[in-house]
Amino acid sequence: MPEKENSHESALRMQQGVEQPETVNERAVSKYKRLRKGLMPVEEYVRGIREGNRVVLSQAITLIESALPLHQSIAQEIIAHCLHHAGKSMRIGITGVPGVGKSTFIEAFGTYLTGKGRKVAVLAIDPSSQRSKGSILGDKTRMEMLSTDGNAFIRPSPSAGSLGGVARKTRETLILCEAAGFDLIIIETVGVGQSETAVHAMVDFFLLLMLPGAGDELQGIKRGIMEMADAILINKADGEQVLLAKLAKTQYSNALHLFPPSPSGWMPVVETCSARTGDGIERTWEIISEYRQMALDNGYFQNKRLEQARQIMFSSIEEQLKQDFYRNPEVNRFLASIEKDLRENKISSYMAARKLLMIYAGHRRKE
């Protein structure tokens, strides 16, 4: 074959008779197109969210939850556009052991609020849903009324990744919900582990639900969680449990007096309620409104949000540094041999870590 006939072709296509591969670029472009299929331009997501379109909101949240880099980068753009429309809601965290009545309470409380013309979004952080499919906050069948309420939006917990990753996704989802006009964001979690600290770090008001008639140790609630609470509600204060609930109220009120005062100047409130009958639901809203007014008046509300944003920045730095470190090829090249030295007592843990960090820093400098 005369060379000039193919002179316009790439070197990859010079050999006849061999099936020609797509060029790298073609492959990348077609993969990109495939991935892009079904996706809208960023502005359309943002417009849909701003118009309160729940389908678009859900689709954008799915992008936040996706592990695909393309989805992640689109999600980040959407978030960036939504940020200055966010921040205007009251963010309420709700925790308590499984069975205490969280979903029943949120159903009653959320319905009460939508009845007052508020727009309520319910998000969740459920660490159990990462490992097993069965989550502690099992979703679909819960909150049946609220899930068909036009002024409510319910989104179950993101299910993949570390608690840090799940918390980040919920925080980003919160921004989109606020941009969509939801002025009350409820973030629910189970009171059995670390996740309530993550929720506490992203809400304005933290509500702990307790059962009547069982000590806090029995309920698996740690002192640290009680200290975080702005209000404790003894739920199921109905029928035969009314007296027990009142007793629990006195006990918890006394216990709270022993805790150091909160920097907000707020004295945590203990009340009884019944998510089933609706008793105490209105009072709960009054308590939260009183808190909000007080915290806005003394500047604590804004300061707390700024401090939360600062903390999130630092924890994001840590998370990203950690990821980058463990993905670094040089670190991975030396990790096994340094671990071996550690096992053979040739090097201390501290020095092993230091050596790896030096390797990482050296590689970064060269990049």
- In the complex, the smallest distance separating the C-beta of residue 174 from ligand GDP, rounded to whole angstroms, is 20
Q: How many residues at the interface with ligand GDP, by CB under 6 A?
A: 14
Instruction: Report the alpha-carbon angle 54-58-59, nearest 5.
Output: 120
Measured from the Cβ of residue 221, the count of other Cβ atoms closer than 10 Å reads: 25
Binding segment (CB under 6 A) for ligand GDP, from list 98-106, 125-133, 302-310, 357-365: 98-106
99 vs 299, which CB is nearer to ligand GDP? Answer: 99
Instruction: Determine, following the binding rule CB under 6 A, whether residue 246 of this chain makes contact with ligand GDP.
Output: no
Chain positions 255 to 274 lying near ligand GDP, rule: CB under 6 A, are 274
Instruction: Determine, following the binding rule CB under 6 A, whether residue 104 of this chain makes contact with ligand GDP.
Output: yes
Binding segment (CB under 6 A) for ligand GDP, from list 41-49, 96-104, 145-153, 171-179: 96-104
First to last CA, the chain: 44
- In the complex, the smallest distance separating the C-beta of residue 257 from ligand GDP, rounded to whole angstroms, is 26
Binding segment (CB under 6 A) for ligand GDP, from list 148-156, 230-238, 305-313, 339-347: 230-238
**Helices within the chain (DSSP H only):** 24-36, 42-50, 54-65, 69-82, 102-115, 128-131, 144-147, 163-179, 195-200, 223-228, 242-257, 281-297, 300-327, 329-343, 349-366
Residue 50 has phi, psi (to 5 degrees) of -65, -30
On the CB side of 335, CA atoms within 13 Å amount to: 10
Contact at 8 Å (CB) between 172 and 79? yes
Give CA separation, 165 vs 136, 151, 159, 300, 316, in Å.
18, 28, 10, 28, 10
95 vs 173, which CB is nearer to ligand GDP? Answer: 95
- In the complex, the smallest distance separating the C-beta of residue 114 from ligand GDP, rounded to whole angstroms, is 18
Binding segment (CB under 6 A) for ligand GDP, from list 15-23, 53-61, 91-99, 306-314: 91-99
126 vs 178, which CB is nearer to ligand GDP? Answer: 126
Instruction: Determine, following the binding rule CB under 6 A, whether residue 191 of this chain makes contact with ligand GDP.
Output: no
Residue 269 has phi, psi (to 5 degrees) of -105, 140
Alpha-carbon gap, residue 176 to 79, rounded angstroms = 7
Alpha-carbon gap, residue 32 to 232, rounded angstroms = 50
Q: Match 């501290």 to its residue by tokens.
A: 350
Using CB under 6 A, which of 91, 171, 200, 236 touches ligand GDP? 236
- In the complex, the smallest distance separating the C-beta of residue 172 from ligand GDP, rounded to whole angstroms, is 24
48 vs 110, which CB is nearer to ligand GDP? Answer: 110
Using CB under 6 A, which of 170, 219, 235, 284 touches ligand GDP? 235
Alpha-carbon gap, residue 293 to 282, rounded angstroms = 17
- In the complex, the smallest distance separating the C-beta of residue 116 from ligand GDP, rounded to whole angstroms, is 21
Token pair for 317 = 């730095």
Instruction: Determine, following the binding rule CB under 6 A, whether residue 98 of this chain makes contact with ligand GDP.
Output: yes
Instruction: Determine, following the binding rule CB under 6 A, whether residue 276 of this chain makes contact with ligand GDP.
Output: yes
Alpha-carbon gap, residue 207 to 217, rounded angstroms = 18
Tell me the sheet residues that pair with 90.
184
168 vs 200, which CB is nearer to ligand GDP? Answer: 200
Q: Among 236, 230, 231, which residue's Cα sits nearest to residue 279?
A: 236
172 vs 238, which CB is nearer to ligand GDP? Answer: 238
Residue nearest to ligand GDP (CB): 101
Instruction: Determine, following the binding rule CB under 6 A, whether residue 238 of this chain makes contact with ligand GDP.
Output: yes
Instruction: Determine, following the binding rule CB under 6 A, whether residue 101 of this chain makes contact with ligand GDP.
Output: yes
Instruction: Determine, following the binding rule CB under 6 A, whether residue 225 of this chain makes contact with ligand GDP.
Output: no
Binding segment (CB under 6 A) for ligand GDP, from list 58-66, 95-103, 124-132, 243-251: 95-103
